[in-house]
Amino acid sequence: MSATSAKATRITLLVLYTDHLEESRAFYTGLGLSFVREQHGRGPIHYSATLPDGTVIELYPATAKRPVSRVRLGFSVEGRAVTPPLAPGRHVVEDPDGRAVELYVS
């Protein structure tokens, strides 16, 4: 991949499958994400948040075909705006499914 194409690539969608839908919504809401409850047709109830750059993060209930994954996430957040408030620096916390979430706090 050339450097030019790498600059043009960005994440637009991240779907997290969870065994703890409501707890995960509360956890990520505490990091400053604002979720909307959605359901498409007869599909599962899930939550969707859109970041300022247009990236969409969705929380879906895990199933046998779509289990919880062990992806590691990282977010830049304002320490005063998260729940509970955090001091500036790097913090690693766990979401309700045990995923490591790195927080870079300003």
Q: What is the distance between the alpha carbons of residues 19 and 88, in angstroms, rounded to a whole number?
A: 31
> For strand 56-61 and strand 13-18, is the pairing parallel, antiparallel, or unpaired?
parallel
Query: Which of 98, 62, 77 minimizes the C-alpha distance to 30?
Result: 77
- pLDDT range class, residue 102, cuts 50, 70, 90: very high
Report the SS3 class of residue 57: strand
Domain 3-105 is classified in which CATH homologous superfamily? 2,3-Dihydroxybiphenyl 1,2-Dioxygenase, domain 1 (3.10.180.10)
Instruction: Give the residue-averaged pLDDT of 1-14.
Output: 75
Q: Mean pLDDT throughout 16-20?
A: 98
What per-residue confidence (pLDDT) applies to 8? 77
- pLDDT > 90: percent of the chain: 86
Distance of CA 77 to the CA centre of its chain: 12
Residue 1 pLDDT greater than 70, yes or no: no
pLDDT tens track for 51-62: 999 999 999 999
In this prediction, residue 6 carries a pLDDT of: 63
When the pLDDT of each residue in the chain is averaged and rounded to a whole number, the result is: 93
pLDDT at residue 27 above 70?
A: yes
Predicted local distance difference test score (pLDDT) of residue 90: 97
| Residue of 14, 26, 82 lying closest to 105 (CA atoms) | 82
Instruction: At 58, give phi and psi (nearest 5°).
Output: -120, 145
